[in-house]
Chain A
Amino acid sequence: MFELIGVPPQALFGQLLLGLINGAFYALLSLGLAVIFGMLNVINFAHGAQYMMGAFGAWMMLTYLGIPYWGALLLVPIVIGALGILLERLFLARLYHLDHLYGLLLTFGLALIFEGLFRRQYGSSGLPYTNPIPGGTNLGFMFLPWYRGWVIIVSIVVCLATWFMIEKTKLGSYLRAATENPTLVRAFGINVPRMMTLTYGFGVGLAALAGVLAAPIYSVNPIMGSNLIIVVFAVVVIGGMGSIMGSILTGFGLGIIEGLTKVFYPEASNTVIFVIMAIVLMIRPAGLFGTPR
């Protein structure tokens, strides 16, 4: 076996794959946060809880209703997204005329409530979810489990489709314009409050989709979201709030950087993203892809 800069290739590519997997989740979650923040000016602290509810949704559909993974992949984002729409109508919509901070506090409180409810019902030890695509293939330099490859592909496709919808379509032009100047867009006859509701539902749906994708990889656990969301917020800060392509690229990029750090300097692997965040905040406070607002 040959070695690369003193590291066996199996270890290097193995960690790269893990990095890409993490990056796939970072990208999906930070994309949802960016879309919601752009349109609603709300930092959705419930995003991690909604991701967790996506994973639980898949588990509950399988356990109670016998709906397999593939059905859950489609149904869960719709159900949790609809729940998001309800939350926006009932609570968030009443806070838009106040400071950002109130939306953040509200969603943070909701996250605690959701996590508490699931912990009370299911405990915090985690529930298993069977891998729907077991097995894998040996690529020569590494072993690729089918399911992990699937997660990366789904994440890339969904991220690019979202980017295309926002940057290249008529609907997306409404979204971009309403992000810039909602008052004027409304004065042109577009129902901006309804767009905000649907955008929140869409962002929450993305979080739920990430949760379904995560269920077979990580154990389904009430606190799986709060562990992940801290890192995702760092990703969003680095990429720049509100930038669509920025959050996708930063999500995958930081996942890979984290993976590489595990190979070359494992001690720093848990902190490298936060170190990068601190540096970016000092040099470009609006984030790598963000514009000051």
Chain B
Amino acid sequence: MAEMSPLLDVRDLHAWYGESHVLHGMTFSIRKGEVVTLLGRNGVGKTTTMRSIMGIVQKRTGSIRYGQTETIGLPSNNIARLGIGYCPEERGIFASLNVTENLLLPPAVKSSGLSIGEVHTLFPQLKERARSQGTKLSGGEQQMLAIARILRTGAELLLLDEPTEGLAPVIVQHIGAVIRDLKKRGLTILLVEQNLHFAVTVADRHYLVEHGTVVDEIENGQLANNRQRLEAHLGV
């Protein structure tokens, strides 16, 4: 792959929850158009990394560059406006909003977002349930809604935190197909995953995370040769 400056460049990122030091110098980067995963066991700091990139974890040091902008000191709402869409692990569907209101909630940050029609083509279920209360949807539908609402905004980098967790295989396949489709559209995706089988079907590269730091980087094509090394890390 031709060398070019990364879209997201994270260097020596440290983060704290109160007094507890969770990230110990995460360093990794993503080029435009790539799908990259952070792989690791529970509690190694993958979600905290995403929350730090979004500015939700406020006590953080190091450098997080998005394009030409250093975001480490910016408040959360300004970071989102640069063009980063966040899909949290708990999905964050609002109970007091119906499906359409949930879908339209995040304001457009770029003009290049998907139209409602395109979103409904990707996720037909959301059209059928447009008037339902957001949290009345099934887990899979809520996950689709959580992804769909950041596609509308025109965000160019998507942070997806365990989008397949707890979902039926057929829905996991659907989400995999959607991610590959988004990659074709030129979107850049950072994926947190514990499901290695799913990760290999969508990603270009993988970063292995342990104890709040990146311990290894593996190209998706090299995965077969490194299977043992990987499984030792993940404990599968």
Contact = CB atoms under 8 A, between A and B. Distances in A.
Contact of A189 (B56, B88, B104, B107): B107
Contact of B55 (A176, A184, A187, A192): A187
Max chain B Cβ within 10 angstroms of own Cβ: one of A173, A179, A180, A188: A188
B86 A187 contact: yes
A174 B101 CA distance: 9
Contact of A186 (B76, B97, B109, B150): B76
Nearest to A185: B105
Max chain B Cβ within 10 angstroms of own Cβ: one of A184, A187, A192: A187
A7 interface: no
A170 B75 contact: no
A286 B150 CA distance: 34
B105 A187 contact: no
B77 A192 contact: yes
B219 to A, nearest CB: 31
A183 B50 CA distance: 14
A179 B88 contact: no
B97 A187 contact: no
Interface in B72-119: 75-81, 86, 88, 92, 94-97, 101, 104-107, 109
Contacts of B55: 187
Interface string A6-48: 0000000000000000000000000000000000000000000
Contact of B95 (A174, A180, A190): A180
Interface of B is mostly: loop
Max chain B Cβ within 10 angstroms of own Cβ: one of A176, A177, A189, A192: A189
Interface string A181-202: 1011111111110000000000
Contacts of A188: 77, 80, 86, 105-107, 150, 153
B214 interface: no
B92 A173 contact: no
A176 B106 contact: no
Contact of B76 (A173, A177, A183): A183
Given A173-B104, A183-B56, A189 B94 contact: no
B54 interface: yes
Contacts of B106: 188-190
A289 to B, nearest CB: 13
A189 B105 contact: no
A179 B97 CA distance: 11
Max chain B Cβ within 10 angstroms of own Cβ: one of A183, A184, A191: A184
A190 B94 contact: no
A180 B107 contact: no
Given A184-B88, A186-B77, A189-B80, A179 B105 contact: no
A195 B55 CA distance: 18
A190 B78 CA distance: 8
A190 B55 CA distance: 13
B107 A190 contact: yes
Interface string A41-74: 0000000000000000000000000000000000
Given A170-B104, A177-B105, A187 B80 contact: yes
B197 to A, nearest CB: 29
A189 B105 CA distance: 10
Nearest to B94: A177
A190 B149 CA distance: 14
Contacts of B105: 173-174, 177, 185, 188
B85 to A, nearest CB: 8
B146 to A, nearest CB: 10
A178 to B, nearest CB: 9
Contact of A190 (B77, B86, B101): B77
Contacts of A187: 54-56, 76-77, 79-80, 86, 88
Interface of B: 54-56, 75-81, 86, 88, 92, 94-97, 101, 104-107, 109, 150, 153
Closest CB pairs A-B (n = 7): A189-B80, A188-B106, A176-B96, A186-B76, A184-B92, A173-B101, A189-B81
27 contacts: A174-B105, A176-B96, A177-B94, A177-B97, A180-B94, A180-B95, A180-B96, A181-B92, A181-B94, A183-B56, A184-B86, A184-B92, A185-B105, A186-B77, A187-B76, A187-B88, A188-B105, A188-B106, A188-B107, A189-B78, A189-B80, A189-B81, A189-B107, A189-B109, A189-B153, A190-B106, A192-B77
Given A177-B97, A188-B80, A188-B150, 5 more contacts: A186-B76, A187-B77, A188-B106, A189-B81, A189-B109
